[in-house]
Structure 1
Amino acid sequence: MALMFWLFAGVAFAQAPGQQHVQISLIAESDHPAPGGEVILALASIPEKGWHAYWLNPGDAGLPARAEWTLPRGATVGEFRYPVPQRLTIAGLMNYVYEGPFAPLVTLKIPADASGSLPIRLKLSYLVCTDAICVPGKADLSTTLQIGDGSVASDRRAQFDAWRAALPRPLGAEGKYQLQGKALRLSVPFPAAAKAEGEGYFFPATHGVFDYAAPQKVTRDGDRVLVDTTGLKAAGPVEGLLAFGKQGFWVRAVSGTVPAASAAAPAQVPWSGAILAFLGAVLGGLILNIMPCVFPILSLKALSLAKANAEGGSPRAEALAYTAGVVLVCLALGGGLLALRAGGATLGWAFQLQDPRVILVLLLLVTGISFNLAGLFELSAPGFVNRAASKGTGGAFATGALAAFVATPCTGPFMGAALGAALVLPWPAALAVFGGLGLGIALPFLLLGFVPAFRRLLPKPGAWMETLRRILSVPMFLTALALAWVLGKQAGVAGMTIGLAAALLATLGLWWTGLRQRRGKALAWLPAAPLLLIAISGIAFVSAAPAGAEAKAVAGAEPFSEARLAELTAQGKPVFAYFTADWCLTCKVNEKAVIETDAVAKALADGKVTVLVGDWTNGDPQLGRFIEKHNRAGVPLYLWYKPGEAEPRVLPQILTQDMLRSLASGG
């Protein structure tokens, strides 16, 4: 490699001094990072036509870029993360290059006491080549950041989301490689149903183990990918990038025994993993019916079932309509999530709740349902909320749609792994998993509709139903209160004030409607319509509050960062890392009932366990990528790092005090 470089370089120095063949810019995602926060920097690079730059491992020839940073006191920077490169063979030598625009990304950590301006300087040494010559280049790059609220302009976020989408995704499991003579076989864990479009190739990042120019045979073998090629020598752990077209996965592998591909490999059914994920989603959705975020909607189900059973309706038709409402909303949310992720966004399940405007819509909706159940007003005309407590398939469909939408803040057992798998499945299989979640949520109602013995267990209707209706308004009011709190956490005091004012205006409009109804007025809702429209228009004035410098400490926790996690694990300290969001009711129940209790706090302190908390309330993309790395589609996520173990233990989504106390004591 060195000989080829110097041969090329000898020709290169005949080039005109200062001539550049690649345009490089240093760009920050946020020009106003918050103290103690992080900001992503990009090296936006555009090689001249006919020229190419190099990946972090250039291959048989070339040189990687070298960076020399000049940073403000207390600021630190990580390693560059590169997008998937291209292969280029010149004179029998394999090169890993970029022939078009590319952007390595790096994370800059801002000191907690930072203020004013932060000048960032980078001296970059690099090599660019054509098929015939190479030219060493240098670039002095700089940018100045102003300490602020961490806000990111929408166009800048879109650009960085596109650059992030080009980066390889880390695989949660470790691979193995085996070298026998010169035959090297690499085994990478990879679900059989996971999508892998395009030709497979492994780009080694570790030097000296792989023969770069040797051909590679990439085989899908059940739940693994095998790479057969020529090796040079065995070493310790190796790292590299497994690519399928432009899709990349970062791999770490250790030396070990790697069996050959099974003879039955071509007959593998690629949907086996999808079927397991579908069944997990159905079971997770079924369990979701007893979770805190779904309980308020049970009031609507109870009234609908009781009335249908008493009035001789069609229980089967209503059950099917209810199921259709649940499944269609789950499919719509899942399809929207997949579409946004395909566009480069880093999002997970319940992504819509990261937007305070959606929280405000839910607040107004739940407020209306609460006062409807409390008897403040009735809607004789067909309407979404009224249908939820009335007879008919339209009402059952609306109830199901509402149940699915309100259920999104919760995640139960089996559901997290199933939705995490859906994010790497082909889109038809992924949509089937989201549909399975809806089927699980609807399953109890479906059974009641089709099994008469279950319906006979329902109590007979009577005056008690009106009393029950008033009682069941209480959990709905509590839900509205919780949504107002979440809105305050997301949009600040101003956002909460707008939300409460909108809810008050909506309530006045509904009270006016109820008053006219009791007087027998026609079109009772018409005078209240302007108030309701003004309340809904409050959505336009709600926006996310600026991100704070640190996540709120819970039970003595520190804000999560991958740098801090790496530091603690390198020191051999036990770490409990959990990821939460203010709109995630499952998270809040676990925190209040388990994590924040005195018994658990004492056990963690006695075991000298460091607690790291990642707040995903507003959809931090860095946390989103870390959560996805552990095969989860959203929060909650609980990880326990035990000294001496290479991988963390992924804890259940429903915690117990005994579980954490046992882990803290070394169990």
Structure 2
Amino acid sequence: MFATALDAQAPRENTIRAELFADGPAQAGEEWTLALHFTPVAEEWHGYWRNPGDAGYGMELDWQLPPGWEAGEPLYPVPEQLVISGLMNHIYEGPYTVLVPIRVPAGADIDDPPAISVEADYLACTDTICVPQQARLTLDPSDAARDPRFDRWRAEIAPLLDREGSFAIENDRLRIAIPVPAALELAAPHVFVGEPDLVDYTATQAFFRDGDTLIAEVPLGRGEVPATLSGILAFGDGEGVRFTAQPGAVPASGTALAPGADELPSVWLALLGALIGGLLLNIMPCVFPILSLKALSLAKAGRAEGAARRDALAYTAGVVLACLALGAALLALRAAGEQIGWAFQLQEPAVLVGLLVLAVAITANFAGAYELPGLIMRGGTGGASSFATGLLAAFVATPCTGPFMAAALGAALLLPWEQALLLFAALGLGLAFPFLLLGFVPALRSRLPKPGPWMDTFRKAMAIPMGLTALALLWLAWRLGGALFGIGALLLCGLTLAALVYTSRRRARGKTSGYIWPALAPLLVVFAFFVLPESVSQQRNDVESLLDPVEYSDAALAEARASGQPIFLWFTADWCLTCKVNESVAIERDATQEAFEAAGVIAMRGDWTRRDEEIARFLTAQGAAGVPLYLWYPPEGEARTLPQVLTPDLLVDLAQARGSSPPTAPAPVAESDPSPAPEPAPGTG
């Protein structure tokens, strides 16, 4: 037997009908389960989880039970996410069932008990309107036949984990340690927190694995921190588990996961992407400053067959080893809890200074300021010089990510470490492939100019792009560390160059370098790696933009999405030449500014020149290992990832598709007591 709503007290039929069912007759001293089954009258209507999210209200139940009988907490299925006008809602589409345990006392009269009843107040919404619902339901405990759908309804309820987790508040984020087996596959994890307003519902959630513990990080909202935390961990496709957590220690590190980790391309496809991505790095703008080094290697390739092959293999070995070393360092640091991404080395002041000193030294050598046998900057022959050239080429060429490479590196952050290292090796192989091809295909080498006096002229000409590279690194040093840091780096370059010139002139006269390097080298190292970084300014040097962007943060993104306006979010860094080219070609344009103003587009920028854990965490959640990353958020729905190479009119076209006036967000539903005869009211769904 089931109960129906008492329609006599409600002049309008509910848009989501409620029915009350029992799992058989009540038994004294046992737990009795009732089911509230909800059925929308049309598919556009949806109901809500107990914590509805940014708008709406959860269901309230007022039970009328016999004396001593007690109703427990309602048990819900795994909800879905619905974002409308930047507001996140936790909803159920289609029919859904909520189970309520009833504790029947041992001495209860179950032969002739009074009828039980419940008054349910809940909310029904479409994407445009919300209507408060009210249903009064009754049921006879002694004559309640078991509904055959109960087994299915029980299976739909998220089961409770048998162990409690722990939670902590750190850096304005809720961190939860949830005990789930390491073997459990997580397709698209999402945490639905039961306590209202505790977290920012629209913010990106980050997930990490630490053995049999899943660590979830969610930006805080405005709610108070509870004594006990509860919620649902959703796996995707309606699957999930309930959890409870007490305040306590949460592991500080783990292997990062990202939404949709199980939908990553196959390892072979990712390897192919890394190989092609590395190959394309040879023509990407961020690689142009080191083309002078590669040009000298091309010139050397015209030598004898065996020597050309040895040089090609040595160069390839240097490139691949550098990519493997950078990849291994990245994986190790992330496993230790560091929030970093690809090209993290250029966020370190000491590394940047080292590259600047090297660029100045190479520029001076190309220009003929000094000659030192055996240095890679001479473009000399031999496997050692080619190997060192490959190391340097990969180290300087990999800050930016290009087509194919971005997806492969994003996959590398999620795959097991041995597979991830294969991807980094494939990236290096792609970068070195043109020179490997020249070393092993004589027909290609025969098309190169013959070695001769022209090489000295060519090398001096290559001092120009290398000098521009040094200037760019000096500018980056100023951007990263401030004026004092830039001046100190320039001083270090001058001391190093003076020592190189002094040594070169002494060797030209047949003398040794003397004691200058044993005395100067330790001082240079201490100055570069310990003294100079202490002068780094912590003040940001924000670059002006035509779009007047909002600086990225989880809170700023959530606020922008709640406005109901389209958002263009881009992540950039001063050391990423691809980023700078895209900005000059597509972003920093009068046409883009005018189109954004007309359409009410909010521009938001994440500057990753310096290390920023919040940006690194967001990039990881998007499956990106580095910059650039461009996202377009429509007023409704999920973000769209834009290409890494922007065309001049792409952003203008996106903005113009929104029309000439900025949209307005519908007002959220106020949490008020529903009336017996509700009128439709605008809502967020």
The two structures have a TM-score, normalised by structure 2, of 0.60
Hey, what's the Cα distance between the residues in 2 that align with 1:202 and 1:397?
42
Among 428, 452, 456, which residue is 1:438 paired with?
Answer: 428
**In the comparison of the two structures, how many residue pairs are matched?**
460
Kindly provide the CA deviation profile for residues 39-68 of structure 1, in whole angstroms up to 9, marking residues without a partner as x. Answer: xxxxxxxxxxxxxxxxxxx9989xxxxxxx
Contact 1:580 1:615 (8 Å CA) reproduced: yes
Q: CA deviation at 1:571?
A: 2.2
- Report the counterpart of residue 670 of structure 2 in structure 1: none
1:320-359 aligned within 5 A: 320-359=313-352
Asked which structure has the greater RCO (Cα within 8 Å, sep 6+), the reply is 2
Q: How far, CA to CA, are the matches of 1:554 and 1:444 in structure 2? A: 38
What is the identity, as a one-letter code, of the residue corresponding to 2:352? Answer: I
Structure 1 residues 372 and 568, CA gap change in structure 2 (3 angstroms): same
Tell me if structure 1 keeps the 8 A contact 2:567–2:602: yes
Residue 104 (str. 1) matches residue 169 (str. 2): yes
Query: Which of 592, 600, 608 matches 1:616?
Result: 608
2:169 maps to a residue whose letter is P
The 1-side partners of 2:349 and 2:562 are apart by 38
Please report how far the alpha carbon of residue 164 of structure 1 lies from its aligned counterpart in structure 2 after TM superposition. 9.2
Question: 1:271-327 deviations in whole A, cap 9, x for unaligned?
Answer: 962211111111111111112332232222222232341466521221111111001
Match of residue 578, structure 1, among 561, 567, 570: 570
Is 1:563 matched with 2:555?
Answer: yes
Secondary structure in 2 aligned to 1:479? helix
- Indicate which of 490, 511, 519 corresponds to 1:522: 511
CA contact (8 A) 2:163 2:179 kept: no
- Report if the CA contact (8 A) 2:278-2:427 is conserved: yes
Match of 1:415 in 2: 405
Q: Could you tell me which residue of structure 1 aligns to residue 18 of structure 2? A: none
Identify which of 631, 634, 642 aligns with 1:651. 642
Is 1:492 the counterpart of 2:468 in the alignment? no
Q: 1:598 aligns with which of 574, 590, 594?
A: 590
Which of these residues, 656, 660, 664, is aligned with residue 651 of structure 2? 660
Greater shift, 482-491 or 423-432, is seen at 482-491
* Distance in 1 (alpha carbons) for counterparts of 2:385 and 2:463: 18
Judge conservation of contact 1:509–1:532 (CA < 8 Å) in 2: no
CA contact (8 A) 2:258 2:620 kept: no
Structure 1 residues 97 and 493: CA distance shift in structure 2, 3 A? farther
**DSSP 3-state at the match of 2:172:** strand
Would you say the 8 A contact 2:331–2:413 is kept in 1? Answer: yes
Counterpart CA distance in 2 for 1:427 and 1:513 is 44
- Provide the residue aligned with 2:371 in structure 1: 378
Deviation at 1:602, TM superposition (A): 2.4
Letter in structure 2 aligned against 1:650? T
Local SS of the residue matching 1:638: strand
Q: Which amino acid aligns with 2:583?
A: E
SS at the partner of 1:294? helix
Look up the equivalent residue of 1:410 and give its one-letter code.
C
Q: Is the 8 A contact 1:327 1:438 kept in 2?
A: yes
Contact 1:510 1:528 in 2 (8 A): no
**CA–CA distance in 2 between the matches of 1:490 and 1:603?**
32
Change in CA separation of 1:246 and 1:469 when aligned onto 2, cut-off 3 Å: closer
SS in 2 for 1:657: coil
Please say if 1:300 is aligned against 2:296. no
Q: How does 1:501-512 map to 2 (within 5 A)?
A: 501-512=491-502
Q: Distance in 1 between matches of 2:179 and 2:597?
A: 38
CA contact (8 A) 2:208 2:254 kept: no
Match of 1:318 in 2: 311
Is this contact kept in 1: 2:485–2:537, CA < 8 A?
no
Report the equivalent of 1:400. 390
463-472 or 596-605, larger mean C-alpha shift: 596-605
2:208 and 2:214 in contact (8 A); partners too: no
Write the distance in 2 (CA, Å) between the matches of 1:346 and 1:549.
Answer: 19
Pairwise CA distance, 1:492: 1.1
Aligned partners of 1:666, 1:429: CA distance in 2, in Å?
42
Q: Kindly report which structure 2 residues correspond to 1:78-97, keeping only aligned pairs within 5 A, or say none.
A: 94=160
1:164, 1:344 within 8 Å by CA — same for their partners in 2?
no
CA contact (8 A) 1:551 1:614 kept: no
Q: 2:168 corresponds to which letter in structure 1?
A: A
Distance 1:338 1:664 in 2: 38
1:532 Cα deviation after fit: 5.0
The residue type equivalent to 2:657 in the other structure is G
Structure-1 separation of matches of 2:514 and 2:178: 52
Distance 1:565 1:195, change over 3 A: closer
Query: Structure 1 residues 60 and 602 mapped into 2: Cα distance closer, same or farther (>3 Å)?
Result: closer
- The aligned amino acid for 2:511 is A
Q: Determine the C-alpha separation between the residues in 1 that align with 2:354 and 2:215.
A: 47
- Give the Cα separation in 2 of the matches to 1:588 and 1:660: 16
**Deviation string, structure 1 residues 314-358 (Cα, Å, up to 9, x no partner):** 212211111110011100110011111111111100111111111
Note closer, same or farther for the CA distance 1:251–1:280 as it changes in structure 2 (3 Å cut): closer
**How many percent of aligned residue pairs carry the same amino acid?**
45
| Structure-2 separation of matches of 1:366 and 1:166 | 49
Task: Identify if the C-alpha distance between structure 1 residues 494 and 290 changes in structure 2 by more than 3 Å, giving closer, same or farther.
Answer: same
Give the secondary structure class of the aligned counterpart of 1:572: coil
- Give the alignment partner of residue 636 of structure 1, picking from 605, 628, 633: 628
Q: How does 1:216-227 map to 2 (within 5 A)?
A: none
Instruction: Render the CA deviation track for 1:196-248: whole Å, top value 9, x for unaligned.
Output: 88679999x9xxxxxxxxxx9x9xxxxx97776899xxxxxxxxxxxxx9879
Quote how far apart the aligned CAs of 1:172 are.
Answer: 9.9
Structure 2: how far apart are the matches of 1:277 and 1:470?
40
- Structure 1 unaligned segments of length 5 or more: list them: 1-57, 62-90, 109-159, 176-193, 206-215, 219-223, 232-244, 253-267
1:283 maps to 2:276: yes
For 1:604 and 1:348, locate their aligned partners in 2 and report how far apart those are by CA, in whole Å.
Answer: 30
8 A Cα contact 1:284 1:413, kept in partner: yes
3-state SS in 2 of match to 1:424: coil
Contact 2:362 2:377 in 1 (8 A): yes
Q: Counterparts of 1:107-146 in structure 2 under 5 Å?
A: 107=172
- Structure 2 residue aligned with 1:537: 526
Partner of residue 588, structure 1: 580
TM-score, with length taken from structure 1:
0.62
**Pairwise CA distance, 1:530:** 3.9
Q: Which residue of 2 aligns with 1:463?
A: 453
Q: CA deviation at 1:524?
A: 4.1
How many Å apart are 1:604 and its aligned residue? Answer: 2.2
SS at match of 2:286: coil
Give the SS at the match of 1:409. Answer: coil
Q: Is the 8 A contact 1:374 1:470 kept in 2?
A: yes
Q: CA offsets per residue over residues 528-580 of structure 1, 9 Å max, x none?
A: 66445544432122227454479544221111122222222222201111111
> Counterparts of 2:317 and 2:611 in 1: how far apart (Å)?
29
- Cα offset, 1:424, TM superposition: 0.5
Q: What is the distance in 1 between the residues matched to 2:602 and 2:376? A: 48
